[in-house]
Amino acid sequence: MKPEILQLVPINKSIQEQINQNFTNHIHIDDLPPPDILHKIEAVITNGVIGAPTDMLNTLPNLKLITVHGVGYDNVDIELAKERNIKLSIATGAPTQDVADMAIGLLLDVARQLTLRDQFIRAGRWTKERFPYQGTSISNKKVGIMGMGPIGRAIAQRIEAFDNEVSYTARHQHTDVKWNFVPSLLDLAKQSDIFIVAASGGDNSRKAINKKIIEAIGEHGFLINIGRGVTIDEEALIECLQNKKLAGAGLDVFANEPHVPQALKNLPNIVMAPHSAGATYETAKKIALKVLRSLDDYFSGKELPDEVKL
C-alpha cells in the first residue's frame, strides 16, 4: 500500500503528477480534509503560513513527516513535533536567488517610488500636473544586512553592484565573506542608509528591529524585510513611518500573516508583498522537487537531506 499523505498547498504540475503516482495523496487546499482520513495520514505538505500548529498535529495521530513547501517553519509546533518524533523538512536553498532579487526590487520600489509613479499615471494625473515627489538613489550608500546565510550573501552581492558599502551582523562572524562584520545590531543600524533583514527568525530575533533600531536607521533610511515578519516590531515601524523617522520600508513578510495592520496599508511610504519573494515558476519547481525528494527519501528509509533537526 502507498503511504497516505495530506497536501495543503498547490504544487508544480509536473511534480504533482509524480507525487500522486508515488503516494495516496489527499489534496485539500481550499477545504478541510474529512475526519475519516485523518488517522491514516503519515505525512503533510504545508507551507510557512499554514505551518503545522498544535491543533493540526492533534488531529493527525499517525503523522510522521512534515514537509514544508518553502523554508519558513515558524508556524510549526516544534516542541510537539519533537515530542512525537515527527520529522521536519524544508526546501533549503531553493528560493535563495529569487528572494534576494525581491529584496532589491522592494528597495527600488520604495526608494524610487515606482508604485506611486504607476498610480500617478493610472489616476490620469500626468496630463494635469507634474509628479510631486522625488525618489532617493540606492547607489553609493551604506548598506547593513541582518543575517549572512545564503540569502544574505546573495543580497550583498547584488546590492554591492550599486557601488554600495556593505556591512552585516549575524550570530557570529563569517570568515568566508569579504563584507565588514558589525557585532552590534544597533551599531549597524546607526551606520546604515539601507537596512535589510535577511535573518532566519526564531525567538532570539523576535522584535529585534524595535523602535530604537528603526530610529537609528534614520529619517533618510530604508528598511527592507524578506526574512521573518516577527523580527520587526510592527507597531514601532508604523509609528516611525507615520512620524517620518524612517523614509520608507519594503516588506514581504509580516508578524501575523496573512493579517496586515490597516495602519501599514494606509501609509504611502511602504511597499508590501504577500510573502511571495520566492514565488517564481523556477523556484516553485525547485521547491516541489525538494518536497518530492523528502517524501520519497523518508518512506524509503533514507536520510532527509533537508531535515531540520528538532
Query: Over the stretch 205-240, which tens digit does the pLDDT of each residue have?
Result: 899 999 999 999 999 999 999 999 999 999 999 999
Q: Do domains 2-89+279-306 and 95-270 have the same CATH topology?
A: yes
Residue type, 176: D
Distance, in Å, from the CA atom of 97 to the CA atom of 151, rounded to the nearest integer, reads 7
Across the range 71-96, mean pLDDT stands at: 95
- Those residues whose C-beta lies under 8 Å from the C-beta of residue 288, and which sit 6 or more positions away, are 11, 12, 15, 16, 69
Query: Which 3 state secondary structure label does DSSP give 88?
Result: strand
- The share of the chain scoring above pLDDT 90, in percent, equals 94
Helix (H) / strand (E) element for 136: namely none
pLDDT exceeds 90 at position 202: no
Name the active-site residue from 69, 153, 275, 293: 275
Q: Which residue has the cell 499554514?
A: 50
Angle between helices 281-299 and 96-112 (to 10 degrees): 150
The CATH fold of domain 95-270: Rossmann fold (3.40.50)
Catalytic site includes residue 220: no
* pLDDT of amino acid 204: 80
* pLDDT of amino acid 262: 98
- The share of the chain scoring above pLDDT 70, in percent, equals 100
The model's pTM is 0.89
Per domain, the residue ranges of the chain are: 2-89+279-306, 95-270
Query: Which 3 state secondary structure label does DSSP give 4?
Result: strand
* pLDDT of amino acid 69: 96
Q: What cell numbers appear for 243 in the block?
A: 512620524
The per-residue pLDDT of the chain, averaged, comes to 96
Strand order in the sheet with 194-197: 180-181, 165-169, 142-146, 194-197, 222-225, 248-251, 270-272
Distance, in Å, from the CA atom of 140 to the CA atom of 164, rounded to the nearest integer, reads 5
The CATH fold of domain 2-89+279-306: Rossmann fold (3.40.50)
Q: What cell numbers appear for 273 in the block?
A: 508583498
Catalytic site includes residue 257: yes
Q: Calculate ∠ Cα 14-73-76, nearest 5°.
A: 110
pLDDT exceeds 80 at position 60: yes
Catalytic site includes residue 228: yes
The tens digit of pLDDT for each residue in 101-159 reads 999 999 999 999 999 999 999 999 999 999 999 999 999 999 999 999 999 999 999 99
* pLDDT of amino acid 38: 97
The tens digit of pLDDT for each residue in 143-201 reads 999 999 999 999 999 999 999 999 999 999 999 999 999 999 999 999 999 999 999 87
pLDDT exceeds 90 at position 17: yes
Name the active-site residue from 228, 239, 282, 307: 228
* pLDDT of amino acid 200: 84
* 72: confidence class by pLDDT, cuts 50, 70, 90: confident
